[in-house]
C-alpha cells in the first residue's frame, strides 16, 4: 500500500497543509462572489477540500492550478448552473463518468488519484441511493432507480479500490466511513 504522508526527522510534512486550503478556498470563494456565510460553508466542506487536495496528495504537476480548476467545476455543479451537471443515462457507463470534467491531472500518482475519485464517486452513489424516492417522484434520472447500477455492487467496487491504496491525509480529509453521510453540495 502507498502511504502519501512524508516523514522528515520525525516531523510529519503535510502534502496539503491547512494554510494552502485556506488560501485556495478563500480565493475561489472570492472569484465566485460568495457571501461570508457561503464562503464559510464552502471552506468547511470535506468534498470541496478533497477535490482541492487531490492534485497535491498525488504529487501532480501544476497542483494549485488543477485544484482551482477542479473547484470551479465543482462549484458550477452545485450552484446556478447545476442543471447542466445533472445525471443523464449516458453518464451511467461508470460511477466515475460524471467526474470526468473535474478529473484531469498532469502527472502524479495514479493510484492516489483513483482513490480520491472513487471517494467522490462513492459520495455520489450514496446520494443517488439517498435520493431514490425524491428523484422518482420528480422524474429525475437516477442510475440506481433506472437499474443501470446495482447499489451494493457499485459501492463494493469503489470501496475495494479505496481500501487498496492508503493515503493518511486523504483519510483525514474525508474518512471512508463518513462518505455515505456527506453531501455533495455545500450545506
6 is a domain residue: no
Distances (CA, A) of 39 to 28, 66, 85, 143: 9, 20, 22, 31
Return the ∠ at Cα 160 (arms to 120 and 5), rounded to 5°. Answer: 70
179 is a domain residue: no
90 is a domain residue: no
Q: What is the pLDDT of residue 12?
A: 62
Report how far residue 182's alpha carbon sits from residue 22's, in angstroms, rounded to the nearest whole number: 20
Give me 102's grid cell. Answer: 473535474
76 is a domain residue: yes
CA atoms within 13 A on the CB side of 139: 0
Domain with 79, as residue range(s), is 14-83+95-172
State if pTM tops 0.75.
yes
Q: What is the pLDDT of residue 180?
A: 86
59 is a domain residue: yes
182 is a domain residue: no
Domain count across the chain: 1
Report how far residue 161's alpha carbon sits from residue 168's, in angstroms, rounded to the nearest whole number: 15
187 is a domain residue: no
Q: What is the pLDDT of residue 187?
A: 55
Q: CB neighbours (10 Å) of residue 176?
A: 16
What secondary structure letter does DSSP report for 10? T
Q: Residue 106: beta bridge partners?
A: 61
9 is a domain residue: no
Average confidence (pLDDT) per 10 residues, the chain, 187 residues: 44 86 98 96 96 98 98 96 93 93 96 98 96 94 96 97 97 94 76
Amino acid at each position: 500500500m502507498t502511504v502519501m504522508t512524508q516523514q522528515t526527522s520525525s516531523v510529519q510534512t503535510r502534502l496539503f497543509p491547512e494554510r494552502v486550503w485556506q488560501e485556495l478556498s478563500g480565493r475561489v470563494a472570492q472569484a465566485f462572489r460568495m457571501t461570508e456565510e457561503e464562503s464559510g460553508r464552502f471552506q468547511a466542506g470535506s468534498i470541496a477540500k478533497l477535490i482541492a487536495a487531490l492534485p497535491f496528495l498525488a504529487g501532480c504537476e501544476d497542483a494549485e492550478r488543477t485544484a482551482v480548476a477542479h473547484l470551479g467545476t465543482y462549484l458550477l455543479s452545485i450552484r446556478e448552473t447545476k442543471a447542466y451537471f445533472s445525471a443523464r443515462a449516458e453518464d451511467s457507463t461508470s460511477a466515475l463518468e460524471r467526474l470526468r470534467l473535474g478529473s484531469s491531472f498532469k502527472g502524479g500518482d495514479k493510484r492516489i488519484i483513483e482513490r480520491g475519485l472513487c471517494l467522490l464517486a462513492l459520495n455520489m452513489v450514496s446520494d443517488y441511493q439517498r435520493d431514490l424516492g425524491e428523484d422518482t417522484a420528480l422524474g429525475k434520472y437516477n442510475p440506481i432507480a433506472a437499474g443501470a447500477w446495482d447499489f451494493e455492487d457499485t459501492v463494493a467496487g469503489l470501496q475495494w479500490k479505496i481500501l487498496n491504496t492508503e493515503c493518511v491525509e486523504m483519510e483525514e480529509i474525508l474518512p471512508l466511513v463518513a462518505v455515505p453521510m456527506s453531501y455533495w453540495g455545500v450545506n
